[in-house]
Structure 1
Amino acid sequence: MNRIFPTNVFFASSRLMRRLVFGGGGRQFSSSSPSYDTVAFLGLGNMGLPMAVNLATKSDYSVVAFDLSTHALNSAEKAGIRVAPSLEGIMDNPQTPPSMVITMLPSDAAVDSVMSILSSNAPPNTSFIDCSTVSPTTSRQWHDALAEKGCLFVDAPVSGGVKGAKDATLTFMVGSDSAKLAENWMIHCVLSYMGSRIIPCGGPGSGAAVKLCNNLALAAQMTGICEAMNLGEALGVDPNILSEVMNTSTAKSWSCEINNPHPTVAAATKSPASKDYQGGFSTKLMLKDLQLAVGAGRNNQVALPVGCAISELYNMADLRGLGDKDFGVLLQFLRGK
């Protein structure tokens, strides 16, 4: 049975672990070996940037980052993170190529594109941690392809939202070859700076599978909260009172307590609904995850009637121009706004 591990059970200090494993002066590497002090981080969106910042500021790893957005790169530099001149430039330095590459990307296509470039000249023993939410098939394909090159690929999507990314309280759902994962202390160590839970989910692709199931339930949860808040307000109930009752009874949930979609209620927690649904987990990304889940259900002959219906709702919200807003904006979409 899989266990849930708080990250502090693993490695409280990467510096201490390096001294224990490699000796006080650190391990010496040839020009063809990866540096155990360098981690590359690719994808600096609402989730990726704070994750990279936590890793760069709380650990003693050297973090180099890249994103297609100039704004994201500027934000990373302001936070003290070194940025690469290009995606190809991540692996260009033969003396200190990164020993680990973390990706936080928006789609399967983006992961395929980035991994194709990086894997072409990655030294053996490089570890790749993909925190993107993608299909289990994509994760398994890259696990197999990189294994042939002597590299390790781990699917480790996250849960906890933007707040969790900023507070370093994310949950990582990890899928990989368990024996190789157990040997790689650096993976556990690096994840511990960005989250508070590491959950081994099984073999390659299992982390991706768990994340799709989680987000399917999350979307259904948020839809229910949006409908209930709209109905309550139409019936003359104070949304704050309704929220208080729901959060102390059977409707209690992350969507109601932490990421409440009603602007009045959200004002207390400063969640996206209080800022015109800016930031947070976007509607278009939730739509993408729902479509992946629905596709997986279809391919495996699993009935997902609620998932299909909610996917259509988010598709219509995206078509209405709400795709870049937090997925709690469904409350406004259901009001016809």
Structure 2
Amino acid sequence: MSTSMFKTPLRRLLATTSVHAPRRAFSTTLPRDATWGFIGLGKMGYPMAKNLRSKIPQSDTLLICDSNSEVTQQFLKEGSGLKVEVAGGPHELAAESETIITSLPEPRHVKDVFHLILKGGLPTKDRLFIDCSTIDPISSREVANAVHCTGAGKFVDAPMSGGVVGASAGTLTFMLGASSKSPGLAQRAEQVLLLMGKKVWHLGEQGAGLSGKLANNYLLAIQNIATAEAMNLGIRWGLDPKTLGQMINSSTGRCWSSEVNNPVPGVVETAPASRDYAGGFGVSLMKKDLRLAVEAARESGTQLKLAETAQGVYEETEGGYPGKDFSVVYRYLQEGSR
């Protein structure tokens, strides 16, 4: 893809961001007879688009776009009531939509899609782009700059937390970055995001949502390894796994990785570990988010002492257990113990 449209990026993150309490509802009503666009029907995007489809007015139209035609056809078959159509490509989808949501794997995919969207220009419209992809803040700012400079619309970043389970249940938490130079932009984006989730944290200017998401997932990456190590240690000392897990969850070691996504099979029946680490947040995705966090930290001159070790753990874990939930780190540690 040609990236000539993306000008020299900002080289440092915002020094400060204003943090607001999470919003749960927005009082204005959604416009009628509107056209919505959704690009990227992957593991997260597909259930997000389903929730969007179920909550927007029946008089509206939802355009979908994905490189996998089988996925778009499946989405059409599952629809009822609302008018759903498959767009001929990203440009066609954006040209006809007032609100466009993207959920894509990597920075290069986001840049590729927006290159196609912006190539040739778009008709004038009060258009909002909401990118829910987890990419680095610098790439996101490059895309936002291209969108704004071409007059295509407004662009916000809104990565999410909650995994596939949260995407399916509509309980995602979104981290929003929206320019304060556009009055009402953050509120407009929040109204849309609450159709697919339960909380929206407005963390500051455009790019701030991604900074928050990467900070959170850096912590989660370390937390998951530490939980797996602690559980493996206690079990090898002869402790009962469930009792150990319950003790930790009533003590100071309690965290999301121990309580909700415990890495030991059978400790938490609803966790991926109890179904052979299927579903959930893939180890490859955690490896990607960790890489992005490290790169962003390097750009800002921030020291991360545990990053290199954690990256090595996920690299080796993915090699042995591709496609599994990232809590499979426990199995990697267990099998490596003597």
Give the TM-score normalised by structure 2.
Answer: 0.85
Q: Which has the higher helix share?
A: 1
Task: State how 1:92-241 maps to structure 2 within 5 Å.
Answer: 97-120=96-119, 121-124=121-124, 125-150=126-151, 151-180=153-182, 182-183=184-185, 186-241=188-243
Once the two structures are TM-superposed, the CA of residue 142 in structure 1 deviates from its matched residue by: 1.1
- The amino acid across from 2:34 in the alignment is D
Q: Deviations over 1:131-190 (max 9, x none)?
A: 111000011111111111221110110112222212212111111212426247542221
1:238-284 CA-to-partner distances (Å, cap 9, x unmatched) read 211111112222122111222222121132x2x22222222111111
Q: Deviations over 1:282-333 (max 9, x none)?
A: 111111111111112222222212122101111122233x232111111111
Deviation for aligned residue 1:336: 3.0
Specify the alignment match of 2:68 in structure 1: 69
Q: Which residue of 1 aligns with 2:289?
A: 289
CA distance in 2, matches of 1:181, 1:273: 45
Seen in structure 2, the aligned counterparts of structure 1 residues 258 and 62 have a Cα distance that, compared at 3 Å, is farther
Structure 1 residues 181, 292: CA separation in 2 closer, same or farther (over 3 Å shift)?
farther
Distance 1:307 1:292 in 2: 11
Aligned residues: 311
Counterpart of 2:305 in structure 1 is 305
- CA separation of 1:238 and 1:123: change in aligned 2, threshold 3 A: farther
2: distance between equivalents of 1:264 and 1:5?
34
| C-alpha separation in 1, matches of 2:123 and 2:241 | 56
Gaps of 5+ in 2: 1-17
* Residue 43 (structure 1) aligned with residue 40 (structure 2): yes
Residues 59, 248 of structure 1: alpha-carbon distance in 2 compared, 3 angstrom cutoff: farther
- Find the aligned partners of 1:281 and 1:181 in 2 and give their Cα distance: 35
Contact preservation (8 Å) 2:228, 2:329: yes
1:33 maps to none
CA distance change for structure 1 residues 181 and 317 in 2, over 3 Å: closer, same or farther? farther
Whether the 8 Å CA contact 2:40–2:104 is kept in 1: the answer is: yes
TM-score, scaled relative to structure 1: 0.85
2:22 is aligned with 1:5: yes
The answer for unaligned runs of 5 or more in structure 1 is: 19-25, 27-35
1:318 aligns with 2:315: no
* Distance verdict in 2 for CA 1:181–1:323, change over 3 Å: farther
Provide Cα deviations, 1:21-49, integer angstroms capped at 9, x if missing partner.
xxxxx5xxxxxxxxx61211111222111
**Structural RMSD (CA):** 2.1
Distance, in Å, in 2 between the alignment partners of 1:160 and 1:145 is 30
CA distance in 2, matches of 1:204, 1:186: 14
